[in-house]
Structure 1
């Protein structure tokens, strides 16, 4: 009887640790994807950032050749995380960022607030961007 309790407790601990590992891996993967995305935006690699858009949405949300040309007119001067929220049950995450943008022609700098929306793909075991790239010209 004592051995049975010990085995049951061991199994429960193993399952609990496996659950923690999955959650930890999912959180780590979100951090990695958000870091890669923000690095691509900071360095002006908008095509690369577009590759992080969910494949089913990529044709609709990926930058067009004209938009890619417009992106060449700006320089990102800063990318600051303002706040974030993750809903593990729904497999979604939102991050609010302020992006400093400099117009290469006028050298005028301004700040753009952008909300990133992320979705967990349990099959691919990765996070995908579902909000598209920032619109640096909204309201201008």
Structure 2
């Protein structure tokens, strides 16, 4: 009986590891999609990766979207990332933006929090879009 339990338990570990690897791959793919959308100024596509609950609570208005069109993202690169005990992954980013009116470039630090949604099989960004006007 103990041998059967040990065999069953040991066979579950590779499946769990494979699931974890698949989730990590999905996270990397989702973060790459988000980063590309940010770099290309495709804020509507980037908005699609934001947690649906956040989108519902704080919808992106046409005015807010037009404000994003006033900046050109000249860089969006990862500084580092770490996993939290609650399953939320935190990624620190450096965002460089150029104000299209003044042509002045600023460098910002952005903290992204990502959560896994088992039902959707998707990672979601919990913080909404980065604020290019922070600290102004």
TM-score (norm 2): 0.90
- Structure 2 residue 67 is matched with structure 1 residue 70: yes
CA contact (8 A) 1:62 1:133 kept: no
Rg (Cα) greater in structure: 1
Q: Which moved more, 1:9-18 or 1:77-86?
A: 9-18
Pick one of 46, 50, 63 that aligns with 1:49: 46
TM-score normalised to the size of structure 1? 0.87
Deviations 1:6-62 (A, max 9, x none): x76654443111010011111111111111111111111111111111111112344
- Where structure 2 has 5 or more consecutive residues not aligned to the other structure, the ranges are none
Q: Which runs of 4+ in 1 moved over 4 A?
A: 7-10
- CA RMSD of superposed structures (Å): 1.9
**Equivalents in 1 of 2:135, 2:20: separation in Å?**
39
In structure 2, how many angstroms separate the alpha carbons of the residues matched to 1:137 and 1:11?
A: 54
After the TM superposition, which residues 76-95 of structure 1 pair with which residues of structure 2 at under 5 Å, given as runs?
Answer: 76-87=73-84, 90-95=86-91
Q: Structure 1 unaligned runs (5+)?
A: none
